[in-house]
Structure 1
Amino acid sequence: MKVHKDPNCGCCGGWAEHMQAAGFPVEIHDSGDMLAVKQRLGIGEGMYSCHTSEIDGYVVEGHVPADAIRKLLAERPQARGLVLPGMPIGSPGMESPDGYRQPFTVGLLQMDGSVRAFSQHP
């Protein structure tokens, strides 16, 4: 997995550690121009998070949990990949010291740029 991130972002490193702990090999690529990375990979403006990853022909935007990525790779849908806009509290890399978690939905980024729900995380 290639993880593109700003060199000054700490939560991106936390997400990369989550992925490594889940058994994914992670290769970090620091970038001073994350907008260019997102545009190159077809991430629309309303879908942005802090880091963008590539794995096995798919793009993964943001703090997507490892189980959603495993599901993507097992099902292999015809899609660009997964998106989790923003930085939901409690998502991997965004853990709260008090254990608080915001519920969030990971979206499946379709080939035409539209998004549909892929997995729910309470």
Structure 2
Amino acid sequence: MKRVSQILTLILAFTPAAQALADSTAIDVRKTNGCGCCLSWMKHLEENGFAPTGEDMFAGTLVRFKLDNGVPQRMVSCHTALVDGYVIEGHVPAADIRRLLEEHPEAVGLAVPGMPYGSPGMGPEDDREAYDVFLIRDDGSTEVFSTYAEG
């Protein structure tokens, strides 16, 4: 019986679902309690290979967290995440986070300031407003990392 159990464990370890779980990238999301768009963004991350965990913070504490982690005030949005040493501010698409992790630039992280309609967690992508994803440099300067056209 022990041998059968070991074989089943081995088989399950190689199933696509088990492999997807093993390949998921952990991402820690800081947000305010009950924010629907934050939860929708976290769902977008899950659907794209991330394993988000959420921590609710009071608004003032969350703002302090953003600033303490290098997010310039002009780049602020509703939630802030930490992944592999980078800060992700706002409704950044999962594909841009993956690109950041692959390219590994010297930077604080990425930001989508405000809450653009049609960005992940903010409504349908096929009816979005145009927005940019910014790379936040260590000195607080920013540059466009990617651009999303009106959809």
TM-score normalized by structure 2?
0.77
Q: CA deviation at 1:120?
A: 1.0
Whole-angstrom distance in 1 between the partners of 2:75 and 2:42 = 19
Whole-angstrom distance in 2 between the partners of 1:21 and 1:8 = 20
Tell me which stretches of 4 or more aligned residues in structure 1 moved more than 6 Å: none
Sequence identity of aligned pairs in percent? Answer: 45
Q: CA deviation at 1:100?
A: 1.8
Alignment of 1:78-93 (within 5 A): 78-93=106-121
**Residue 140 (structure 2) pairs with residue 117 (structure 1):** no
Counterpart in 2 of 1:38?
A: 66
Alignment length, in residue pairs? 121
- RMSD of the alignment, in Å? 1.2
Counterpart in 2 of 1:5?
A: 31
Whole-angstrom distance in 2 between the partners of 1:117 and 1:20 = 25
Q: Which residue, out of 52, 65, 70, partners 1:26?
A: 52
Q: Tell me, yes or no, if the aligned pair for 2:116 and 2:131 is still in contact at 8 Å.
A: yes
Q: Which one-letter code corresponds to 1:85 in the other structure?
A: P
Q: CA deviation at 1:25?
A: 0.7
- Where is the helix percentage greater, Structure 1 or Structure 2? 2
Q: Tell me, yes or no, if the aligned pair for 2:70 and 2:138 is still in contact at 8 Å.
A: no
Whole-angstrom distance in 2 between the partners of 1:7 and 1:120 = 30
Q: CA deviation at 1:8?
A: 2.5
Aligned to 1:88, the other structure's residue is in SS state coil
Counterpart in 1 of 2:78?
A: 50
Aligned to 1:26, the other structure's residue is in SS state strand
Whole-angstrom distance in 1 between the partners of 2:47 and 2:145 = 23
Aligned to 1:25, the other structure's residue is in SS state strand
Aligned to 1:4, the other structure's residue is in SS state strand
Q: Which one-letter code corresponds to 1:112 in the other structure?
A: D
Identify unmatched segments of 5+ residues in structure 1: none
1:78-109 Cα offsets, whole Å, 9 max, x none, are: 0010011000000000014x942011110000
Q: Which has the higher contact order (CA 8 A, sep 6+)?
A: 1
Identify unmatched segments of 5+ residues in structure 2: 1-26
